[in-house]
Amino acid sequence: MPSACAGQGSAPARTRVTVRRGRAPGPVVRPMVHDGPMSDLTRIPAPDGVAPAAAYAHVVMGTGRFVAVSGQLPLDEHGALVGANDPAAQARQVFENLRRCLCAAGAGFEDVVKLTYFVTDMTHLPAIREARAAHIPADRLPASSAVQVAALVAPEFLMEIEAYAVLPE
Protein backbone atom coordinates (compact mmCIF):
# COMPACT_ATOMS: atom_id res chain seq x y z
CA MET A 1 0.00 0.00 0.00
CA PRO A 2 1.37 3.42 -0.88
CA SER A 3 2.48 5.79 1.83
CA ALA A 4 -0.19 8.29 2.77
CA CYS A 5 2.02 11.15 1.64
CA ALA A 6 3.85 9.64 -1.34
CA GLY A 7 4.86 12.42 -3.68
CA GLN A 8 3.75 15.10 -1.24
CA GLY A 9 5.74 17.74 0.62
CA SER A 10 6.02 17.69 4.37
CA ALA A 11 2.97 18.55 6.44
CA PRO A 12 2.74 22.16 7.63
CA ALA A 13 3.50 23.06 11.25
CA ARG A 14 0.57 22.50 13.62
CA THR A 15 -0.63 24.14 16.81
CA ARG A 16 -1.25 21.56 19.52
CA VAL A 17 -4.41 21.71 21.63
CA THR A 18 -4.85 19.12 24.38
CA VAL A 19 -8.19 18.27 25.95
CA ARG A 20 -8.21 15.95 28.98
CA ARG A 21 -11.26 13.85 29.78
CA GLY A 22 -12.04 11.26 32.40
CA ARG A 23 -12.11 7.60 31.41
CA ALA A 24 -15.41 5.80 31.18
CA PRO A 25 -15.82 3.00 33.73
CA GLY A 26 -16.27 -0.55 32.60
CA PRO A 27 -14.38 -3.68 31.64
CA VAL A 28 -12.06 -3.99 28.69
CA VAL A 29 -13.75 -5.95 25.92
CA ARG A 30 -11.90 -8.77 24.13
CA PRO A 31 -10.75 -9.81 21.55
CA MET A 32 -8.58 -6.85 20.66
CA VAL A 33 -6.14 -6.29 17.83
CA HIS A 34 -3.43 -3.80 18.79
CA ASP A 35 -1.57 -2.23 15.90
CA GLY A 36 1.78 -2.16 17.68
CA PRO A 37 4.36 0.54 18.31
CA MET A 38 3.66 2.65 15.19
CA SER A 39 0.12 3.38 16.32
CA ASP A 40 -1.81 3.82 19.53
CA LEU A 41 -4.91 2.28 18.01
CA THR A 42 -6.72 -0.81 19.20
CA ARG A 43 -9.43 -2.45 17.12
CA ILE A 44 -12.17 -4.63 18.58
CA PRO A 45 -13.67 -6.47 15.60
CA ALA A 46 -16.48 -8.14 17.57
CA PRO A 47 -17.20 -7.17 21.19
CA ASP A 48 -18.85 -9.83 23.33
CA GLY A 49 -22.51 -10.20 22.38
CA VAL A 50 -22.17 -8.32 19.05
CA ALA A 51 -22.23 -10.15 15.72
CA PRO A 52 -18.91 -9.86 13.85
CA ALA A 53 -18.80 -7.57 10.85
CA ALA A 54 -17.04 -8.59 7.66
CA ALA A 55 -16.14 -5.14 6.35
CA TYR A 56 -15.32 -3.00 9.41
CA ALA A 57 -14.33 -3.06 13.08
CA HIS A 58 -17.11 -2.38 15.59
CA VAL A 59 -14.79 -0.41 17.88
CA VAL A 60 -11.52 1.43 17.35
CA MET A 61 -9.86 3.11 20.33
CA GLY A 62 -6.86 5.38 20.41
CA THR A 63 -4.99 8.03 22.29
CA GLY A 64 -3.31 10.97 20.64
CA ARG A 65 -4.19 13.89 18.38
CA PHE A 66 -7.64 13.80 16.80
CA VAL A 67 -8.00 14.60 13.09
CA ALA A 68 -11.38 15.18 11.42
CA VAL A 69 -11.55 15.19 7.63
CA SER A 70 -14.68 16.73 6.14
CA GLY A 71 -16.72 14.72 3.69
CA GLN A 72 -14.82 14.41 0.44
CA LEU A 73 -16.48 14.49 -2.96
CA PRO A 74 -15.27 13.02 -6.27
CA LEU A 75 -13.60 16.22 -7.45
CA ASP A 76 -10.09 16.53 -8.84
CA GLU A 77 -7.62 19.20 -7.69
CA HIS A 78 -9.22 21.69 -10.11
CA GLY A 79 -12.76 21.09 -8.83
CA ALA A 80 -13.88 19.01 -11.82
CA LEU A 81 -16.09 15.97 -11.32
CA VAL A 82 -14.32 12.62 -11.73
CA GLY A 83 -16.40 9.64 -12.89
CA ALA A 84 -19.80 10.93 -13.95
CA ASN A 85 -22.29 8.10 -13.23
CA ASP A 86 -19.35 5.78 -12.36
CA PRO A 87 -19.32 4.75 -8.67
CA ALA A 88 -15.92 3.02 -8.93
CA ALA A 89 -14.20 6.09 -10.43
CA GLN A 90 -15.88 8.37 -7.92
CA ALA A 91 -14.84 6.13 -5.01
CA ARG A 92 -11.21 6.07 -6.18
CA GLN A 93 -11.16 9.87 -6.40
CA VAL A 94 -12.79 10.29 -3.00
CA PHE A 95 -10.18 8.02 -1.39
CA GLU A 96 -7.41 9.94 -3.15
CA ASN A 97 -8.85 13.18 -1.73
CA LEU A 98 -9.05 11.60 1.73
CA ARG A 99 -5.39 10.52 1.38
CA ARG A 100 -4.35 14.07 0.50
CA CYS A 101 -6.34 15.56 3.39
CA LEU A 102 -4.91 13.06 5.87
CA CYS A 103 -1.43 13.81 4.56
CA ALA A 104 -1.97 17.54 5.13
CA ALA A 105 -2.60 16.69 8.80
CA GLY A 106 0.49 14.47 9.01
CA ALA A 107 -1.70 11.35 9.02
CA GLY A 108 -2.36 8.36 6.80
CA PHE A 109 -5.00 5.72 6.39
CA GLU A 110 -3.25 3.66 9.07
CA ASP A 111 -4.40 6.35 11.55
CA VAL A 112 -8.08 6.31 10.50
CA VAL A 113 -10.47 5.15 13.23
CA LYS A 114 -13.81 5.92 11.54
CA LEU A 115 -15.17 6.33 8.02
CA THR A 116 -18.68 7.51 7.28
CA TYR A 117 -20.08 6.85 3.82
CA PHE A 118 -22.94 8.97 2.50
CA VAL A 119 -24.29 7.35 -0.66
CA THR A 120 -27.21 8.04 -2.94
CA ASP A 121 -27.61 4.30 -3.54
CA MET A 122 -26.42 1.41 -1.36
CA THR A 123 -25.43 -0.49 -4.52
CA HIS A 124 -22.35 1.79 -4.63
CA LEU A 125 -20.87 0.16 -1.49
CA PRO A 126 -18.93 -2.60 -3.33
CA ALA A 127 -17.11 0.09 -5.36
CA ILE A 128 -16.37 1.99 -2.16
CA ARG A 129 -15.04 -1.16 -0.46
CA GLU A 130 -12.80 -1.87 -3.45
CA ALA A 131 -11.35 1.66 -3.36
CA ARG A 132 -10.91 1.41 0.41
CA ALA A 133 -9.06 -1.91 0.04
CA ALA A 134 -6.45 -0.16 -2.11
CA HIS A 135 -5.59 2.03 0.90
CA ILE A 136 -6.53 0.09 4.05
CA PRO A 137 -5.61 -3.58 4.62
CA ALA A 138 -8.34 -5.93 5.82
CA ASP A 139 -6.69 -6.39 9.23
CA ARG A 140 -6.75 -2.61 9.92
CA LEU A 141 -10.30 -1.71 9.00
CA PRO A 142 -11.74 1.28 10.83
CA ALA A 143 -15.17 1.57 12.38
CA SER A 144 -17.62 2.51 9.64
CA SER A 145 -21.15 3.72 9.00
CA ALA A 146 -23.00 3.81 5.68
CA VAL A 147 -25.93 6.17 5.24
CA GLN A 148 -28.14 6.35 2.17
CA VAL A 149 -29.18 9.93 1.48
CA ALA A 150 -31.80 11.36 -0.86
CA ALA A 151 -29.23 13.69 -2.41
CA LEU A 152 -25.81 15.21 -1.94
CA VAL A 153 -24.79 18.81 -2.61
CA ALA A 154 -25.07 18.30 -6.39
CA PRO A 155 -26.92 15.58 -8.33
CA GLU A 156 -23.80 14.26 -10.12
CA PHE A 157 -22.22 13.19 -6.80
CA LEU A 158 -22.93 9.55 -5.93
CA MET A 159 -21.02 9.55 -2.64
CA GLU A 160 -19.30 11.62 0.02
CA ILE A 161 -16.95 10.10 2.61
CA GLU A 162 -15.63 11.62 5.82
CA ALA A 163 -12.85 10.30 8.04
CA TYR A 164 -11.70 10.56 11.64
CA ALA A 165 -8.14 9.69 12.58
CA VAL A 166 -5.99 9.59 15.70
CA LEU A 167 -2.29 10.40 15.50
CA PRO A 168 0.18 9.26 18.15
CA GLU A 169 1.22 12.09 20.45
> Is 54's pLDDT higher than 50?
yes
pLDDT tens digits, residue range 61-84? 888 999 999 999 999 999 999 999
Q: Quick one: 67-166 is in which CATH superfamily?
A: RutC-like (3.30.1330.40)
Distance CA 104, CA 166 (A): 14
Angle at alpha carbon of residue 131, lines to 119 and 157, rounded to 5°: 30
- Packing angle of the helix pair 87-104, 125-133 (nearest 10 deg): 40
Chain-centre distance for alpha carbon 41: 13
Q: Round the average pLDDT of the chain to a whole number and report it.
A: 83
Residues in contact with 142: Cβ distance below 8 Å, sequence separation at least 6, in sequence order: 43, 56, 57, 60, 112, 113, 114, 115, 136, 163
Distance CA 103, CA 42 (A): 21
**Extents of the domains making up the chain:** 67-166
Distance CA 49, CA 101 (A): 36
Q: Note the pTM of the prediction, 2 decimals.
A: 0.77
With left for phi above 0 and alpha for psi between -120 and 50, is residue 79 left, alpha or beta?
left
The confidence score (pLDDT) of residue 1 equals 56
